[in-house]
Amino acid sequence: MIREVMDLVMPRECLVCGRQLGLQEQHLCIWCAADLPETHNWEQAHNPMADQFNALLERQRPEGENMQYAFAAALLFYHHENPYKLIPRSLKYGGNIQAGRFFAKRLGAHMARQAHFADVDTVLPVPLHWWRQWRRGYNQAEVIAAQLAQALHAQLRTGDLVRVRRTRSQTRLDAEARVKNVQGVFALRHAFPAKHVLLVDDTFTTGATLAACYNAVRSALGPSVRISIATLAVVQA
Ligand SMILES: [Zn+2]
């Protein structure tokens, strides 16, 4: 009985290679933990993920409006042929909330040591459509956001950023189609005082969803608020 409960709380197999875990190991065996493909991109205020995201924002920027550079951080590189993809996937599709918290906490600890994230005061998870969240039972972005808010001593605001309509899954769409698919999908329910908002999602692919959230937050809070992004994984170009 205790073992069954423990299996639910903490899977005893390595998420990546399936090897049986020892008592001291959490979610990953020592071998997979040693090879974790961390991006280290949180260490640089300007990094390839942030540059890609800012380029996308720039294309959508209303003419004549100024924009603050959005900082970006992701814990891991994601590649569909790399078994480490099982870390974000186990949170998103496998219901492994414990693993999600574990890796998000690690990202939070990394980010908390960086000057460019020091003034983050608000954390907003990318919302799921209520129907999808009801079926899944949780929002994976919120699991990550909660850990980041704690690490950065910022306020977690769930339910403020909302999806105003349901969208097709982005998985099979190309970059341009993704931008169109999520345009005008998000809205901020009400404005609130903030200096630096961190938008959080599970994986950064083209950045289309995060850009749509960015535009919603920016139009509600104004251009003086800095908006940055953080995800568990970033797809390797
Ligand atoms: Zn392993």
Q: Are residues 166 and 63 in the same domain?
A: yes
CATH number, domain containing residue 93: 3.40.50.2020
Question: What is the domain range of residue 25?
Answer: 1-35
Total domains in the fold of the chain = 2
Which of 10-19, 112-121, 211-220 has the weakest average pLDDT? 10-19
pLDDT at 194: 97
Inter-CA distances, 217 with 181, 201, 209, Å: 18, 15, 13
Residue 10 Cα to ligand 1 midpoint, Å, equals 15
Residue 92 Cα to ligand 1 midpoint, Å, equals 20
Question: Do 152 and 111 touch, CB atoms closer than 8 A?
Answer: yes
Which of 28-32, 58-62, 155-159, 190-194 has the weakest average pLDDT? 58-62
The pair of three-digit structure tokens given for residue 174, joined into one six-digit string: 């190309």
* Identity at 160, one-letter amino acid code: D
Q: Are residues 122 and 90 in the same domain?
A: yes
Confidence label for 237 from pLDDT (cuts 50, 70 and 90): low
Q: Are residues 113 and 4 in the same domain?
A: no
pLDDT at 177: 84
Q: Are residues 88 and 185 in the same domain?
A: yes
Q: Are residues 12 and 49 in the same domain?
A: no
Give backbone dihedrals phi and psi of 115, rounded to 5 degrees, phi first: -60, -35
Residue 19 Cα to ligand 1 midpoint, Å, equals 6
Residue 86 Cα to ligand 1 midpoint, Å, equals 11
Task: Determine the 3-state secondary structure of 188 from DSSP.
Answer: strand
Q: Are residues 21 and 81 in the same domain?
A: no
Pairwise pLDDT comparison (160 vs 184), residue with the higher score: 160
50, 59, 79: which is closest to 178 by C-alpha?
A: 59
**Percentage of residues of the chain with pLDDT beyond 70:** 95
Residue 34 Cα to ligand 1 midpoint, Å, equals 9
Q: Are residues 15 and 52 in the same domain?
A: no
Q: Are residues 76 and 187 in the same domain?
A: yes
Q: Are residues 11 and 106 in the same domain?
A: no
Q: Are residues 20 and 99 in the same domain?
A: no
pLDDT at 3: 55
Torsion angle, CA of 55/72/62/160, rounded to 10 degrees?
A: 150
Q: Is pLDDT of 33 > 70?
A: yes
Q: Are residues 187 and 97 in the same domain?
A: yes
**Percentage of residues of the chain with pLDDT beyond 90:** 73
Give backbone dihedrals phi and psi of 91, rounded to 5 degrees, phi first: -80, -45
Q: Are residues 7 and 116 in the same domain?
A: no
Per-residue pLDDT tens digits for 80-106: 889 999 999 999 988 899 999 999 999
| Helices 48-60 and 208-221: angle between axes, nearest 10 degrees | 60
Residue 151 Cα to ligand 1 midpoint, Å, equals 27
Residue 17 Cα to ligand 1 midpoint, Å, equals 4
Residue 80 Cα to ligand 1 midpoint, Å, equals 17
Residue 98 Cα to ligand 1 midpoint, Å, equals 17
Please name the residue that has the structure tokens 């704690």: 150
